[in-house]
Amino acid sequence: MQIRHIFEHLQKDLSSVFFELHEDSPSHGGDPFILVPAMSLLPVCDILKDMQRYDFQCLSNLTAVDFQDHLRLIYHLFSYTHHHSLTLTTSLLPPHYEIDSVSRLWPIANWFEREVFDMFGIQFRGHPSLKRLLLPQHWTGYPLRKDYERMAR
């Protein structure tokens, strides 16, 4: 399924939630993605995983990007049965970087979310054990944010 069709089906299935679809155009390079409000991330993921039409069993990547005024979370989903992929994004506004954890749906998200917490300081609600993954536990600050200043020691 193309991302366009996935989007149209999603709007029918979840009419109450507001979506934004970004498309690939000549002026704008790169992949198309679907922008979901942070509140409705978990219900959308629920549907994407469980409904036979989409059947996204695999979360292939999870990252965050710092755009100075807000943080953005990116979920790359993939389905081995239908061979289609989808990019979900949500925006988080300061000062409360908090979002629901999806580790209940995809167990691999457990480690991905720990890494994002380690590097960006995003709190995941309902995560089994939210600790630092790559850096020592006593570390202060979140290195991959743009305002982190510890480049040269």
Partner 1 sequence: MNEWLGEEKKVCIGPHHPVTRGGMNFIASLDGETLRQAIPEIGYCHRSLEKIAENTDYQGFTTYASQADPLSPYSCQWSYVMAVEKLAEITVPRRAEFLRVIAMELNRITSHLHFLSFMAEIIGAKILKAQSFKRAEIFSHYTTTFCGNDNMFLQIGGVVRDLCSSDWETTLIQFLDHLKTFIDEYSYTLKNNYVFQRQLSFTGVISVEEAIQYNLVGPNLRASGLAWDLRKNRPYSIYSELNLEIPTCQRNKGDAHDRVQVRIDEIAQSASLIRQCLEKIPQGPIQCKITEPIKPKTGEIYNCIEGVRGDTGTYLVSNGTTQPHRLKLRTGSFSSLALLEKMGREIPLSDYLTLIASLDISPWEADR
Partner 2 sequence: MSHLLQKWPKNFITKKLARWIHQTHNRFFSCILLGGSTHEINSSYLRKIGVSITTNPRQADILVLSLPLTEKMGRWSRILYDQMPFPKYTIGIGNNSQKGFPEKTYSFCSLEDVGISLNLHVPDALMNTKTLMMAFQQLRNTLSQDITRGEEGEESADKTHF
Minimum distance of partner 2 from residue 148's CB (angstroms): 8
Among 30, 69, 136, 146, binds partner 2 (CB under 8 A): 136
Q: Which of 32, 43, 121, 143 binds partner 2 (CB under 8 A)?
A: 143
List all residues 6 or more positions away from 134 whose beta carbon is below 8 Å from its beta carbon. Answer: 115, 118, 119
Phi, psi of 70 (to 5 degrees): -155, 160
16 binds partner 2 (CB under 8 A): no
Tell me the site size for partner 2, rule CB under 8 A.
9
CB 37 within 8 A of CB 17: yes
Query: How does DSSP assign 37-100, residue by residue?
Result: -GGGHHHHHHHHHHSTTT---EEEEEEEEEETTEEEEEEEEE-TTT--EEEEEEEE-SS--EEE
Least distance in angstroms from the C-beta of 123 to partner 1: 20
Residues of this chain that interact with partner 1 (CB under 8 A) are: 27-31, 33, 57-61, 63, 65-66, 74, 76, 80, 83, 87, 106-108, 110-111, 119, 133-136, 143-144, 151
Residues of this chain that interact with partner 2 (CB under 8 A) are: 134-136, 143, 148, 150-153
